[in-house]
Amino acid sequence: MNPIQSYIATHKTRFLDELITLLKIPSISADPNYSNAVLTVASALKDDLERAGCTSVNLYTTEGYPIIYGEKIISSELPTVLVYGHYDVQPPDPVALWDSPPFEPIIKTTDKHPEGAIFARGACDDKGQLFMHVKALELMVANNTLPCNVKFMIEGEEEIGSKNLSTFIEEHKEMLKNDVILISDTGMIANNIPSITTGLRGLSYVEVEVTGPNRDLHSGLYGGAVANPINILTKMIASLHDTDQRITIPGFYDNVEILSKEERAEMAKAPFNLDAYKDALNIEAVYGEKGYTTNERNAIRPTLDVNGIWGGYIGEGAKTVIPSKAYAKISMRLVPNQDWKTITQQFTTHFNNIAPKGVTVKVTPHHGGQGYVTPVDSLGYIAASKAYATTFGKTPIPQRSGGSIPIVALFEEVLKSKTILMGFGLDSDAIHSPNEHFGVWNFLKGIETIPYFYEYFTELSKK
Ligand code: BES
Ligand code: MN
Ligand code: MN
């Protein structure tokens, strides 16, 4: 065992206990009822960063939840790595579908995690992955092997659109100055197939409201004679895809980045088993845009999906009613070069245009962000690739992800640095779903791999 491995072996029980302490606190940013818990996690993490060796750790107040900033600067001659993560979590709903309570972490084995996985909301997204960085710093400081400067910026509003982070980075450019940004908030292909995320999709998230008559009506007395907002809304939504599953909003594909044949062939080399994919989801067939593979559909192509839809009577039994209003929440995942504000505008115009007379439509944009692609020839990517090669014994595969971390594009714009996405979760870890978990092996492997990133990045920067 090398010094990294022996430090982890000696302290792993404590590492897990400390993570479990954080996971017990329900830091749900979307629900104001949990604001105290969100604040509690922020101050607990501040203490954790101090204990790990950061100096001057501060909670910066914002209009929303605080941003934690801490650093360990050893020399202005050395490169600086900025670590970003988020301490807020998604709501655990539907709680009834969890096999164990979402905020009472337990370790159980699974097929994918024979060495055990921690089950709790936030285990993988993102408390567990963020905590790997805190423990990696502790390890490097304790072993006296920290080769460069480190800065941590941790926010509590990622899951609700990072509303206050852009102002913060604009106002603290100098403090946040760095040579590379490092984030563990994505996944990898499998424990024996390491991969590094090279792309994130952008996002436009909107809510729509369709209003018909000025009150709920008797569906017998008025049925057939006035527009039913739910009938209309579902028809409008259905029309947003054509029979090839392409999105029908005018201009939607205008700026979509087109990958070359070679790039698509390169992507197709990543191991993927369609049958296992279908089995894991219990579906008979996949579904999506004509002409693209599953991996292309969920990474390099844009989407439009209804995330929630409601209106009318949904209580027990039957109530005969034509509702006055119907609603839906819609997300559009975007690819590089699609501008989320333009797309939101195009959606709004189109949705108003396709509304028939007899209803009115209101579109309310929620949040959004641009997509991101990181080059594989940057120092950061090369350092990360070498780090995985060292600890996994295999060169990682570059892979574009379908998820979004909108702030990453902003980092590049404002701080002018590349982001490296070293994620150690698996798609099957059920982030945002019931029974979210994070492999103990993955957690420890992350802690082992991160110090090599620092080492290689510092070495490569000297050349
Ligand atoms: N960590 C995820 C994003 C992610 C997960 C990217 C896995 C790639 C692989 C992040 O916390 C998240 O959930 N982002 C949201 C967007 C945000 C604006 C609410 C998402 O992708 O839905
Ligand atoms: Mn996340
Ligand atoms: Mn998330």
Angle at 365 between CA 359 and CA 367, to 5 degrees: 160
Instruction: Please name the helix (run of DSSP H) or strand (run of DSSP E) that holds residue 63, with its range, or none.
Output: none
Among 29, 159, 410, residue to substitute to test ligand 1 (most atoms within 8 Å of Cβ) = 159
Banded pLDDT at 113 (limits 50, 70, 90): very high
Query: Which pLDDT score is estimated for 149?
Result: 98
**Probe residue for ligand 1, chosen from 127, 130, 158, 200 as the CB with the greatest number of ligand atoms within 8 Å:** 158
Give the distance (Å) from ligand 1 centre to CA of residue 268. Answer: 23
pLDDT at 20: 98
Predicted local distance difference test score (pLDDT) of residue 99: 98
Q: Is 176 in the pocket of ligand 1 (CB under 6 A)?
A: no
Higher-confidence residue of 350 and 463: namely: 350
**Helix 127-142 × helix 35-52 angle, to 10°:** 20
Whole-number percent of the chain with pLDDT over 90: 98
> Cβ distance 305 to 331 under 8 Å?
yes
Amino acid symbol at 121: R
- Tokens 């997509």 correspond to what residue? 371
Residue pLDDT, tens place only, 140-186: 999 999 999 999 999 999 999 999 999 999 999 999 999 999 999 99
Atom 7 of ligand 1, nearest CA residue: 186
Which among 188, 334, 370, 404 is the best mutation to test ligand 1's pocket, defined by most ligand atoms within 8 Å of the CB?
404
> 102 CB less than 6 Å from ligand 1?
no
**Cα of 111 from ligand 3 centre, angstroms:** 23
For residue 463, pLDDT beyond 90:
no
| Rounded Cα gap, residues 305 and 197, in angstroms | 23
* Mean pLDDT computed over 70-76: 97
Check pLDDT > 80 for residue 2: yes
* Ligand in closest contact with the CA of 85: 2
State yes or no: pLDDT of 350 exceeds 90.
Answer: yes
The rounded Å distance from CA 455 to ligand 3 centre is 29
Q: What is the pLDDT of residues 384-442, one digit of tens each?
A: 999 999 999 999 999 999 999 999 999 999 999 999 999 999 999 999 999 999 999 99
CA dihedral for 14, 20, 21, 22, sign (positive or negative): positive
Task: Say yes or no: CB of residue 155 within 6 Å of ligand 1.
Answer: no
Largest CA distance in the chain: 80
Query: To the nearest whole number, what is the mean pLDDT of the chain?
Result: 97
Ranking 146-155, 260-269, 339-348 by mean pLDDT, the lowest is 260-269
What pLDDT is attached to residue 243? 98
